[in-house]
């Protein structure tokens, strides 16, 4: 028997699964909750935009979870033929000339700016706007491949913001690497920052990397944002690698620590959503939705067909999901987070009236349209298709008779309307979505939500067989770099065929619900366009932004 290891670094914990390469079964699994900060995230009470992570947690989690998972799997270390890693992103961290994260150094160990800047850190929203503005003027092609707007969640926004607010950290960094690339460098003993292999998916989707303009953005372009950012360009290199590439081989040191064989191949890392799509069986015509606190929507389109740039989509990157395909990434900035917010803070009545179970039980008895409520799903901004962090939530239609379960359902419906808006955008640009494969706890556990998604999008909702598609995707990448001769596979198609699948239960659109939701979506779209786009013929576009400005002044 042969197995691979899939490591999945999430926002609050890291998970390791040991996967049977013959059928994708998870034979061992272990989770490590990051000990630092608030559920693994370093926050700032005075600035809701801050979200950092301690790299120490990443390293500790590596050791603990691999050992525990192997023990649970009751297999021989020799049977493990490859390792794959996925992480959140864009989550860049500054490293010194020896490849050590600054956050591990005594000098910086208490400085949040020296830590990993978690994907949902939005402190660089001003810098994101600057980058967008400059690119619009000088390099519109940079933006065309990432949806037309550079986001505060992305690589250069964060690094530039660090330079602006903590130059000492910036200066101490030899370069910045994505969390995923740091992990593969660590496991393969790549301490020279110039030799660290950078993954295609992070570079292409979040750092404006594209072969058509020679890799990362032009040095002069970056220098215009800040001279020191221009200098950093040299430390980024010109190469990136897709997930069918070997990042390197496991060092003796780590092999000994983990009880594994020295030299086991480590696959190039990738973002959780990308490998989650692989683990869900992504292929042409399928949209994979990874539904969690936020949602990632992944699409793969053959790279032999000509593809239009799709405005508002987070990226179109050759080889970012599967070799031979353009990977397209879209997403919603908050999904589960919105439901959790409502349950944890707004309706705190508990078991009787206010937990997820109680609210779901009552909400599923409601018919579409019955509550008279309509919400926008922008409590954490809008990632796709508006690419605007400075948007906020909206709830409309409440009366004195409105009950919590109606609001709860309206919030779920809002996320489904957001999902439909993304699907429509893909289809408007010629990428037909034939099926939707969902994964994540919400998709597995909430049939009401899945049915609402089917009714609102008009697409059959399938659910991925694995509960850990990201980790499974990493294990699949590991199986491919191991190769068929070692018990793995020679390509992703074969590996996915054997190792992935969907569950028996699927959710088909119900015609009468669809009819009502089509009416509601028209209204959603009116609100969406009025508050989210300029030139709609009303001044409402400014309302959310003005409110945020007033709020920031009041908090200053």
537 binds its own copies (CB under 8 A): yes
What's the full length of the chain, in residues? Answer: 556
510: number of CA atoms within 13 Å, CB side?
A: 11
498 binds its own copies (CB under 8 A): no
By CB under 8 A, the residues from 510 to 529 that bind its own copies are 516, 519-520, 523, 526-527
Residue from 22, 23, 38, 370 touching its own copies (CB under 8 A): that is 370
Smallest gap from Cβ 10 to its own copies, in A, equals 17
Cα 264 to Cα 261: distance, rounded to the nearest angstrom: 6
Residue from 230, 237, 369, 483 touching its own copies (CB under 8 A): that is 369
Q: 38-43, long-range: CB within 8 Å, 24+ apart, which pairs? A: 39/12, 40/11, 40/12, 40/13, 41/11, 41/12, 41/118, 42/112, 42/115
Query: What torsion do the CA atoms of 115, 117, 123, 129 make, to the nearest 10 degrees?
Result: 130
Smallest gap from Cβ 453 to its own copies, in A, equals 19
329 binds its own copies (CB under 8 A): no
12 binds its own copies (CB under 8 A): no
Neighbours of 526 (CB within 10 A): 13
Is the separation of the CB atoms in 414 and 433 below 8 Å? no
Nearer to its own copies, 109 or 515 (CB): 515
Q: Which span (216-224, 324-332, 370-378, 444-452) binds its own copies, by CB under 8 A?
A: 370-378
Residue from 152, 210, 392, 500 touching its own copies (CB under 8 A): that is 392
Cα 171 to Cα 153: distance, rounded to the nearest angstrom: 22
Smallest gap from Cβ 547 to its own copies, in A, equals 5
Nearer to its own copies, 280 or 295 (CB): 295
Nearer to its own copies, 338 or 443 (CB): 338
By CB under 8 A, the residues from 72 to 91 that bind its own copies are none
By CB under 8 A, the residues from 398 to 417 that bind its own copies are 398-404, 407
Cα 529 to Cα 527: distance, rounded to the nearest angstrom: 5
Q: How far is the first Cα of the chain from the last one, in angstroms, to the nearest whole number?
A: 61
Smallest gap from Cβ 523 to its own copies, in A, equals 5
Q: Which residue has the tokens 């300029």?
A: 534
By CB under 8 A, the residues from 330 to 359 that bind its own copies are 334, 337-338, 341, 345-349, 353-354
Q: Which span (215-223, 412-420, 439-447, 534-542) binds its own copies, by CB under 8 A?
A: 534-542
129 binds its own copies (CB under 8 A): no
- CA 85 from chain centre, in angstroms, equals 14
Cα 467 to Cα 26: distance, rounded to the nearest angstrom: 10
Cα 102 to Cα 108: distance, rounded to the nearest angstrom: 6
212 binds its own copies (CB under 8 A): no
Smallest gap from Cβ 405 to its own copies, in A, equals 10
Beta bridge partners of 82: 4
- Give the binding-site size for its own copies (rule: CB under 8 A): 58
Smallest gap from Cβ 347 to its own copies, in A, equals 6
48 binds its own copies (CB under 8 A): yes
447 binds its own copies (CB under 8 A): no
Q: Write the CB contacts of 400 (distance below 8 Å, at least 6 apart in sequence).
A: none
Cα 446 to Cα 250: distance, rounded to the nearest angstrom: 40
Q: Which one, of 297, 292, 289, 290, lies nearest residue 327 by Cα? A: 297
Can you give the binding site for its own copies, defined by CB under 8 A?
A: 48, 334, 337-338, 341, 345-349, 353-354, 367-374, 379-380, 392-404, 407, 516, 519-520, 523, 526-527, 530, 536-540, 543-544, 546-548, 550-551, 553-555
């Amino acid at each position: 028997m042969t197995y691979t290891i899939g490591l999945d670094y999430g926002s609050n914990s890291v998970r390791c699964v040991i996967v049977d390469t013959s059928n994708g079964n998870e034979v061992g699994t272990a989770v490590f909750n990051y000990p630092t900060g608030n559920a693994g995230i370093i926050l700032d009470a005075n600035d809701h935009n801050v979200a950092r992570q301690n790299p120490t947690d990443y390293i500790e989690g590596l050791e603990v979870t691999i050992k525990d998972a192997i023990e649970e799997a009751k297999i021989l270390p020799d049977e493990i033929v490859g390792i794959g890693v996925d992480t959140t992103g864009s989550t860049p961290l500054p490293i010194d000339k020896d490849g050590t994260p600054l956050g591990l150094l005594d000098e910086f160990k208490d400085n949040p700016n020296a830590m990993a800047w978690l994907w949902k850190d939005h402190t660089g929203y001003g810098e994101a706007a600057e980058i967008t503005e400059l690119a619009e003027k000088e390099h519109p092609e940079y933006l065309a491949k990432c949806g037309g707007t550079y986001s505060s969640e992305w690589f250069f926004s964060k690094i530039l913001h660090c330079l602006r607010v903590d130059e000492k950290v910036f200066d101490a960094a030899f370069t910045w690497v994505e969390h995923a690339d740091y992990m593969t460098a660590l496991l393969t003993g790549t301490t020279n920052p110039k030799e660290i292999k950078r993954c295609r998916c992070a570079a292409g989707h979040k750092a404006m990397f594209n072969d058509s303009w020679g890799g990362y953005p032009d040095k002069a372009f970056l220098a215009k944002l800040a001279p020191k950012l221009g200098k950093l360009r040299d430390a980024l290199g010109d190469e990136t690698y897709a997930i069918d590439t070997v990042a390197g081989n496991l060092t003796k040191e780590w092999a000994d620590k983990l009880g594994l064989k020295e030299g086991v191949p480590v696959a190039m890392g990738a973002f959780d959503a990308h490998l989650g799509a692989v683990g869900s069986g992504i292929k042409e015509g399928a949209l994979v939705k990874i539904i969690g606190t936020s949602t990632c929507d992944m699409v793969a389109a053959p790279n032999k067909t000509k593809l239009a740039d799709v405005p508002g989509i987070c990226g179109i990157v050759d080889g970012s999901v599967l070799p031979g395909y353009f990977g397209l990434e879209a997403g919603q900035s908050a999904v589960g987070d919105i439901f959790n917010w409502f349950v944890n803070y707004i309706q705190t009545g508990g078991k009787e009236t206010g937990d997820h179970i109680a609210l779901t039980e009552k909400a599923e008895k409601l018919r579409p349209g019955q509550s008279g409520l309509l919400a926008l799903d922008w409590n954490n901004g809008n990632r796709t298709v508006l690419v605007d962090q400075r948007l906020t939530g909206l709830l409309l239609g409440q009366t004195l008779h409105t009950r919590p379960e109606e609001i709860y359902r309206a919030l779920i419906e809002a996320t489904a309307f957001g999902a439909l808006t993304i699907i429509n955008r893909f289809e408007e640009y010629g990428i037909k979505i034939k099926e939707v494969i969902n994964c994540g706890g919400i998709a597995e556990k909430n049939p009401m939500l899945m049915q609402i998604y089917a009714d609102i999008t008009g697409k059959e909702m399938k659910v991925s067989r694995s509960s850990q598609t990201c980790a499974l995707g990493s294990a699949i990448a590991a199986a491919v770099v191991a190769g068929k001769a070692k018990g793995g596979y020679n390509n992703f198609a074969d590996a996915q065929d054997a190792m992935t699948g969907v569950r028996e239960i699927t959710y088909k659109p119900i015609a009468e619900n669809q009819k009502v939701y089509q009416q509601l979506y028209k209204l959603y779209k009116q609100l969406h366009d009025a508050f989210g786009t300029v030139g709609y013929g009303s001044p409402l576009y400014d309302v959310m932004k003005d409110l945020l400005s007033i709020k920031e002044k009041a908090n200053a």
